[in-house]
Amino acid sequence: MNWFSHGESRMSRHEHQQSGTWLSSVGRALPPLGVVLLTLAWVWWSAVPKPAQLVLITIDTTRADRLSLYGFADATMPALERLARDGVVFDQAISVAPLTLPAHTSLFTGLFPPGHGVRDNAGRALDENHTTLAEVLRDRGYCTGAFVSSVVLDPSRGLAQGFEHYAGVLPGARREATPLQRRADEVVADAIRWFDGIGTCPLFLWTHFYDPHRPYEPPEPYRSRYFDPYIGEIMFVDAQIGRLLDALEQRHRLENAIVIVAADHGESLGEHGEEDHGIFVYESVLRVPLIVRLPGSLTTSGATGDSRVADLVRLVDVMPTVLDLLRIPALVTDGVSLTPLLDGSRNALGLEGYAESMYPRQLGWSSLAALRDNRFKFIQAPQPELYDLESDPFERTNIIRDHPAVAQTMSRRLGQAESRDERERTARSDHVDADVRARLAALGYAAGTSVAPLHAARPALDPKDCIAGYEQRRRDNTGLSPKGFCQ
Ligand SMILES: [Zn+2]
């Protein structure tokens, strides 16, 4: 009260002394008390700690080992390098599936696919009864905006939950006019327009860049500049990420933002006979980039920029980490908070990564599931596989005969993860909108009517025996008859 009175009298005196100045004209327009109250409100608003904002960037179809910050030597990606310098790079971040929708759904729910029930791009959508990261932040007063670039993430597929603004590719009136994806520069322009119009509320911004997905057609000058068009696509996305970060910085949105960059899955690029992704669960499609850059306000004593974490982490850990960083109570998820790795208080959490591929079932083959730790990886298949990733990171030598006990233990643990299939607990519709199904098919995804749960009898056909004929059939464009080309 004393401070209040003092301020009022001081302003009155000041107004008197500065008669005829700008301040006095304001004083005449507003009663002195009003000026004081406005000043106090501003001082209070400035002093109140602002909640950190969240910028989540997902790059589709991007292998960690094709980024310069993961050792790729043929091109330097300045925007990602900048984030890496200011943040923490996870060297062994693992996706849950080689498909866009299941992987993103795990990112947003912290659940493995058996937990959230989204097993395929063309299967069921995420049910409303799940809680997404966007819903949590929206309920905490964040302005939430998503800018996605593929029909696979159409709002009808479940991830629009919690986003006040969700912009994807627009359905066209005629199917042939329906866009299936949009470029990163469009996504960034759209996102900037959005955050320029939301005032001062804390934001949760998600941008999704589909460009590195096949077909690899980077715009100029990236098309001419890079021999490998897949790298050209990544370089274009890097430039657009730089543009987005610059725009956030100019608006003072970056200094208080957690920035997370991840890929949903990688790309086989011919390894193991697979051209792109969706069938196998090898590291080429599961090991993804993950960069977490914290604002100064959240940087704890042990955390420094430009650091790397060698320990295995999963996409399901992103949501628990964000909630932990923002001091929001945890939800029940399959993930854990990675803050002990971020602040350096621990260098290993002993996590196991679960991943699955249900897409082969659309082709009449066995689904695949995998479990890995920091050293071994077990793949459940008609002919199961075990790899020592320390000595064989490209999974070239199946050592299952040499380590039957390891395989047996991992197989049992994998079975426990699979048994969480929520189809046992809920009976939900697998309905997929006919238009979305047609657009998925136009992207090259076979879209059957449903996907059976993993613990149902697995078809005997092993994708390993079928991939060569399958890829040949795709090259020849002679259709995807499922069985004829399996050895
Ligand atoms: Zn994807």
- pLDDT band for position 38 (cuts 50, 70, 90): confident
Count up the domains in the chain and report the number.
Answer: 2
CA of 296 to the centre of ligand 1 (A): 32
Provide CB contacts within 8 A for 454, sequence distance 6+: 114, 356, 358, 367, 369, 418, 421
Residue at a domain's end among 352, 371, 399: 352
| Residue 247: exposure state from Cβ atoms within 10 A (0-12, 13-18, ≥19) | middle
Domain assignment of residue 399, yes or no: yes
- pLDDT band for position 11 (cuts 50, 70, 90): very low
Q: 47-89: per-residue pLDDT in tens?
A: 656 679 999 999 999 999 999 999 999 999 999 999 999 999 9
Percentage of the chain exceeding pLDDT 70: 79
Q: 263-311: per-residue pLDDT in tens?
A: 999 999 999 999 999 999 999 999 999 999 999 767 654 555 669 999 9
Statement to judge: residues 200 and 323 lie in one domain: yes
In this prediction, residue 6 carries a pLDDT of: 32
Cβ–Cβ under 8 Å, residues 319 and 109: yes
User: Torsion angle of alpha carbons 184, 190, 192, 198, nearest 10°?
Assistant: -150
Domain assignment of residue 41, yes or no: no
Higher pLDDT, 193 or 453: 193
- Considering only CA atoms, which of 146, 141, 180 is closest in space to residue 58? 146
CA of 263 to the centre of ligand 1 (A): 8
Query: Which range is least confidently modeled, 14-18, 29-33, 479-483?
Result: 14-18
pLDDT at 429 over 50: no
Q: What distance in Å separates the CA atoms of residue 282 and residue 66, rounded to the nearest whole number? A: 16
Statement to judge: residues 302 and 386 lie in one domain: no
In this prediction, residue 425 carries a pLDDT of: 45
Residue at a domain's end among 287, 320, 352: 352
Structure tokens belonging to residue 273: 């006979």
Domain assignment of residue 66, yes or no: yes
Query: Which range is least confidently modeled, 34-38, 123-127, 145-149, 170-174?
Result: 170-174
Q: What distance in Å separates the CA atoms of residue 241 and residue 95, rounded to the nearest whole number? A: 21
In this prediction, residue 302 carries a pLDDT of: 53
What integer is the mean pLDDT of 111-131?
93
| Strand, helix or coil for residue 210 | coil
CA of 330 to the centre of ligand 1 (A): 27
Neighbours of 352 (CB within 10 A): 15
Statement to judge: residues 311 and 390 lie in one domain: no
Higher pLDDT, 170 or 126: 126
CA of 209 to the centre of ligand 1 (A): 9
CA of 269 to the centre of ligand 1 (A): 14
- pLDDT band for position 40 (cuts 50, 70, 90): confident
Residue at a domain's end among 320, 352, 384: 352
CA of 36 to the centre of ligand 1 (A): 54
pLDDT at 29 over 70: no
Q: Residue 389 carries which DSSP code?
A: T
pLDDT at 7 over 70: no
CA of 60 to the centre of ligand 1 (A): 4
Domain assignment of residue 15, yes or no: no
CA of 213 to the centre of ligand 1 (A): 7
What CATH number should be reported for the domain holding residue 174? Answer: 3.40.720.10
pLDDT at 348 over 80: yes
CA of 5 to the centre of ligand 1 (A): 62
CA of 101 to the centre of ligand 1 (A): 7
Statement to judge: residues 279 and 401 lie in one domain: no
Average predicted confidence (pLDDT) for the chain: 85
Q: What distance in Å separates the CA atoms of residue 296 and residue 68, rounded to the nearest whole number? A: 25
Statement to judge: residues 259 and 360 lie in one domain: no
CA of 294 to the centre of ligand 1 (A): 25
Statement to judge: residues 344 and 376 lie in one domain: no
Statement to judge: residues 312 and 230 lie in one domain: yes
CA of 469 to the centre of ligand 1 (A): 23
Domain assignment of residue 468, yes or no: no
Domain that holds residue 232: 53-352
CA of 154 to the centre of ligand 1 (A): 13
Q: Which long-range contacts (CB under 8 A, 24 or more apart) does 187-193 make?
A: 187/147, 187/148, 187/149, 187/240, 188/147, 188/240, 188/243, 188/244, 188/247, 190/147, 191/145, 191/147, 191/244, 192/244, 192/247
Statement to judge: residues 76 and 60 lie in one domain: yes
What CATH number should be reported for the domain holding residue 451? Answer: 3.30.1120.10
Statement to judge: residues 222 and 293 lie in one domain: yes
CA of 418 to the centre of ligand 1 (A): 22
In this prediction, residue 19 carries a pLDDT of: 35
Q: What distance in Å separates the CA atoms of residue 167 and residue 154, rounded to the nearest whole number? A: 9
| Residue for token pair 């009136």 | 173
Q: What distance in Å separates the CA atoms of residue 153 and residue 122, rounded to the nearest whole number? A: 11
Statement to judge: residues 111 and 60 lie in one domain: yes
CA of 128 to the centre of ligand 1 (A): 22
CA of 50 to the centre of ligand 1 (A): 33
Domain assignment of residue 24, yes or no: no
Higher pLDDT, 487 or 315: 315
Statement to judge: residues 418 and 329 lie in one domain: no
CA of 442 to the centre of ligand 1 (A): 15
Statement to judge: residues 276 and 166 lie in one domain: yes
CA of 61 to the centre of ligand 1 (A): 5
Domain assignment of residue 365, yes or no: yes
CA of 264 to the centre of ligand 1 (A): 5
pLDDT at 10 over 70: no
CA of 345 to the centre of ligand 1 (A): 33
Q: What distance in Å separates the CA atoms of residue 453 and residue 456, rounded to the nearest whole number? A: 6
CA of 37 to the centre of ligand 1 (A): 52
Q: Residue 172 carries which DSSP code?
A: P
pLDDT at 17 over 90: no
On the CB side of 57, CA atoms within 13 Å amount to 28
Neighbours of 431 (CB within 10 A): 11
CA of 210 to the centre of ligand 1 (A): 7
CA of 208 to the centre of ligand 1 (A): 10
Domain assignment of residue 152, yes or no: yes
H-run or E-run covering 185? helix 184-195
Q: What distance in Å separates the CA atoms of residue 307 and residue 284, rounded to the nearest whole number? A: 23
- pLDDT band for position 433 (cuts 50, 70, 90): low
pTM here is 0.85
On the CB side of 453, CA atoms within 13 Å amount to 19
